[in-house]
Chains A and B, each alone.
Chain A
Amino acid sequence: MKRYRIAIIEPASVIGEGIASMLAASGEVEVLFCCRSIAEAKGYTRSHDEVEILFVAATLAPQLSGISLFDNVPMVAIQSTLVDNETLRRFAATVSIFSTTEELLRTLHETLDRAAEPSYSESHELSEREKDVLILVARGHTNKEIASELNISPHTVISHRKNIVHKTGIRSVAGLTVYAVLNKLITNEQL
């Protein structure tokens, strides 16, 4: 079974490691890294593309502004102290230090499901990752094959495909193939 790849940034090790071990024990999750600061997280550059969901201390919210560390990765706030609603609104969801494993997993699933819905406020420019997915779609790969090729979960592939459809306005594979060729993302010979 494909496991969801997560990362955790939490200054209190006991909280970060606690959430990491609870989620890892479920068998559904692979913790790519668990660190104590944004600066430390920057060191895990090789993992950034693979992170599907980021659990991060709500208290670190001010430091997250303007950081493009994890493009398009949904962030779940870890709430261990009182945090104002304005801060929490910057996150896709919230878990607390009292959350059970079931609650953590439910939040994870719901957040990924919501992330898979197309967002109507973003730019219509395809991201680099979406272009990668589009090229593989044009070459006739299935979602499963694309997930394996790009080392991401099928969930994330579906999310990218929804975004591609929303941004291009094109639904059929044949139409997306024409779009990819005409925009020079792929040559006719590479199809």
Chain B
Amino acid sequence: MNKINYHSPAASLAPDMKIFELIDAYPVLLSVFSRLGITLPFGDISVEQMCRRDGHSPELFLLLCRMHIDTSFRPRPSELREDMLLSVVGYLRATHRYYTDYMLPHAGEHLDEILSYCDELSRSMLTKFYSDYVSYIREHLEEEEQTIFASVESAAAGERLNLASLEVPHSDIDDRTNDIASLIIKCLPEAAPTQLRCAMLSHIYALRDDLRRHYNVEVALLRPLIAQTINTSKQ
């Protein structure tokens, strides 16, 4: 059995690790499985066996796992292969759906429940603030899908990939997510039960952390892959 080095998590993952070992050590990786469309049960197979079975690159799967465990992890250029590009876009699209279809509505339900204990003013202000936040994230995700993702997918169908159209402006999603957490911690009246507030906060912090991982995948994996693909096509 492979020993997992908890002091260097990103470096310790290997293709011959059993899936059970991987999930047992890093339950947070379950979302990587679901975003790649990999379903339970896994029996006693290894990472490599699972990837071959489901048509995924073990190298890419492990890169995504490393980036998920450690948001500061950056793949080396030698680890990047152009044939990973379309899979990365698929993974990012699935991540978008996870935010829009699950995380954001679920946090909204928590908030509604909390706000039912609050006065009218708190209710209307926070409802609007959260609704604006959700709209902002949705717009940002849609813009990425319509520009970057669509261009990559068109390139896979034979069109030319152009980096100039692939730059998405820096957004302040992280700041806005933190703002929601700060408002819940500092401003909600005591009438809202602590348990509900804690559940909402856990959800918001989970969303924030996931958005950071997502951003890291875009910056440190997707963009270098696009640049590499463009360079190759020029040659």
**CB-contact partner of B176 in A168, A169, A172, A182, under 8 A:** A172
Chain B residues in 8 Å Cβ range of A170: 178-179, 182-183
* Band of interface residues on A: 10 to 19
Query: Which one of A45-53, A70-78, A127-135, A173-181 contacts B?
Result: A173-181
Q: Which of B132, B176, B185, B188 has the most CB of A within 10 A?
A: B176
Contact status A171-B179, CB under 8 Å: yes
Contact status B172-A178, CB under 8 Å: no
Interface residues as binary, B170-191 with A (CB distance below 8 Å gives 1, 0 otherwise):
0010011011111101111000
**CB-contact partner of A178 in B126, B175, B178, under 8 A:** B126
Contact status A175-B132, CB under 8 Å: no
Task: For B124, give the chain A residue with the smallest CB separation.
Answer: A188
- Chain A nearest CB: distance from B109 CB in Å? 20
Binding site secondary structure of chain B: helix
Q: Is A183 at the interface (CB under 8 A from chain B)?
A: yes
Q: Please measure, in the bound complex, the distance between the C-alpha atom of A183 and the C-alpha atom of B122, giving whole angstroms.
A: 10
Chain B residues in 8 Å Cβ range of A174: 129, 132, 179
Q: Please measure, in the bound complex, the distance between the C-alpha atom of A182 and the C-alpha atom of B182, giving whole angstroms.
A: 13
Q: Is B125 at the interface (CB under 8 A from chain A)?
A: yes
A179-B186, A183-B187 given as contacts; is B172 within 8 A of A171 (CB)? yes
**CB-contact partner of A175 in B121, B129, B188, under 8 A:** B129
- Chain A nearest CB: distance from B127 CB in Å? 10
Interface residues as binary, B117-156 with A (CB distance below 8 Å gives 1, 0 otherwise):
0000110011001001000000000000000000000000
Contact status A175-B126, CB under 8 Å: no
A169-B178, A171-B175 given as contacts; is B129 within 8 A of A182 (CB)? no
Chain B residues in 8 Å Cβ range of A181: 121, 125
Q: Please measure, in the bound complex, the distance between the C-alpha atom of A185 and the C-alpha atom of B16, giving whole angstroms.
A: 60
Binding site secondary structure of chain A: helix
Contact status B129-A178, CB under 8 Å: yes
Contact status B122-A175, CB under 8 Å: no
Contact status B121-A179, CB under 8 Å: no
Contact status A172-B122, CB under 8 Å: no
Q: Please measure, in the bound complex, the distance between the C-alpha atom of A145 and the C-alpha atom of B123, giving whole angstroms.
A: 31
- Chain B nearest CB: distance from A74 CB in Å? 27
Q: Please measure, in the bound complex, the distance between the C-alpha atom of A174 and the C-alpha atom of B181, giving whole angstroms.
A: 14
Q: Please measure, in the bound complex, the distance between the C-alpha atom of A170 and the C-alpha atom of B126, giving whole angstroms.
A: 14
- Chain A nearest CB: distance from B170 CB in Å? 14
Chain B residues in 8 Å Cβ range of A183: 187
Q: Please measure, in the bound complex, the distance between the C-alpha atom of A183 and the C-alpha atom of B184, giving whole angstroms.
A: 12
Chain A residues in 8 Å Cβ range of B186: 168-169, 179
Chain A residues in 8 Å Cβ range of B180: 175
Contact status A175-B182, CB under 8 Å: yes
Contact status B121-A168, CB under 8 Å: no
Contact status A179-B183, CB under 8 Å: yes
Q: Please measure, in the bound complex, the distance between the C-alpha atom of A182 and the C-alpha atom of B192, giving whole angstroms.
A: 14
Contact status A175-B125, CB under 8 Å: no
**Top 5 A-B residue pairs of the complex, sorted by shortest distance between their CB atoms:** A175-B179, A169-B182, A182-B187, A171-B175, A170-B179
Cβ contacts A to B, 20 pairs, < 8 Å: A169-B179, A169-B185, A170-B178, A170-B182, A171-B175, A171-B179, A172-B176, A174-B129, A174-B132, A175-B176, A178-B129, A179-B183, A179-B186, A181-B125, A182-B121, A182-B122, A182-B125, A182-B126, A188-B121, A188-B125
Known interface pairs A168-B182, A179-B182, A182-B125; 10 further A-B residue pairs with C-beta atoms within 8 A, sorted by A's residue number? A169-B181, A171-B178, A172-B172, A172-B179, A175-B176, A175-B179, A181-B121, A182-B121, A182-B122, A182-B188
